Structure 1
Amino acid sequence: MSAEPEHEDVSIFEDRLWHHKGWEARVIKNEDDDGWAVAMTQDGQAEPALVGPWTMGRDKKSPKPLDMSAFNTLVKTASEVIRRNEQHQAALLHKAIEIEHRGLRVTVALDIEPDEENPSATLTATATDGSQLARIGVRPDHSLTRASAQRWADAGYPRVRED
């Protein structure tokens, strides 16, 4: 067994590379022009969460060195990008629509389980008191709209045929 500290515990504070508290900021040459960019990568991730332009130094050739203020701002921005991406992904995998059926407010929800080999989805109808009215398996590409939810409820929540 190695007695070396884990990578996450090591802090590095160099002009073009900072690694601190689970984040790495790396100033890199911008491939598109003569400028510089900064890439923010969270520990354990292969790809940066954020890549953005970086300020030139006083000589107008070299990049400005990283500092604590810039690093903290970059961490905050990259964390927000990750949070928004997670929210977007969650919205793609869960959709809920409220309809009126026989005088009751019913929530019809589509939940998708993304699996590269065998994705699946479930359509669920729930009353406002939390009781489940129906639950069926549907194709992951099932289109949940207010009209389709209403048709399903009006038909008595049958198993959906999706040939």
Structure 2
Amino acid sequence: MTHQPELSPEADDPDAAGDNAEKIQEPRLWRADGWTARVIKNEDDDGWAVAMIKDGEPEPALVGPWTMGRDKKNPKPLDTNAFSTLVKTASEVLRRHEQQLHAMLHKSVIVDTDTARISVTLDIVPDEDNPFAVLRATDELGDELAQVRVSPGFKLSKASAADWIENAYRKPR
């Protein structure tokens, strides 16, 4: 496991974050295209790690092992190809995280009734002080049929959606 020290770009350079950050291409520090790659000592062993930090973010999107150089003591220097690969990998990690978060906060089911096909969605609003969710029904044309505020713990399923529809869209318990 790689130890993760404070890796914020602002820690070393207050002007580093943001779109106006200057491009840097050093053996252990690269900054370009909205990202900073920093090669750091792995405090758990004799190896090295690389941290990828998206500009403006306080924490790295990716921390992983880094290759030793030829002398088997110092890290291999960063280069254009390595940086490009790291940017691609870190971007994918962020994309997956966003997709997972979206999937956790937005659920939907389709319910076929005798007269219509109704889409029921549950959108959770993770407010720190007062989290809640919105249960919404729309018809096949996208017209809203009903909307009600529910607990963020409401379990949306075909059965719970069908019950809500059958109960004339009254707020579920």
TM over 0.5: yes
Whether 1:68 aligns to 2:54 is: no
Q: Cα distance, 1:140 vs. partner? A: 1.2
1:1-163 superposed matches below 5 A = 7=16, 8-161=20-173
* More displaced 10-residue stretch of structure 1: 66-75 or 138-147: 138-147
SS where residue 88 of structure 2 aligns?
A: helix
Residue 101 of structure 1 contacts residue 154 of structure 1 at CA under 8 Å; is this kept in 2? no
Any gaps of 5 or more consecutive residues in structure 2? 1-14
Any gaps of 5 or more consecutive residues in structure 1? 1-5
The letter for the 2-side match of 1:75 is V
Q: Cα distance, 1:119 vs. partner? A: 1.4
Question: CA–CA distance in 2 between the matches of 1:60 and 1:113?
Answer: 50
The letter for the 1-side match of 2:67 is T
1:3 match: none
Question: CA–CA distance in 2 between the matches of 1:39 and 1:73?
Answer: 13
CA deviation digits over 1:3-62, x for unaligned, max 9?
xxx533311111111111211100011223221110000111110000111111001111
Q: Cα distance, 1:74 vs. partner? A: 0.4
Q: How many residues align?
A: 156
Could you tell me the percent identity over the aligned residues?
A: 58
Question: CA–CA distance in 2 between the matches of 1:44 and 1:9?
Answer: 10
Question: CA–CA distance in 2 between the matches of 1:91 and 1:35?
Answer: 37
CA deviation digits over 1:70-114, x for unaligned, max 9?
001101111111111111111111111111122311111001111
Q: Cα distance, 1:159 vs. partner? A: 1.6
SS where residue 71 of structure 1 aligns?
A: helix
Superposed CA RMSD in Å reads: 1.2
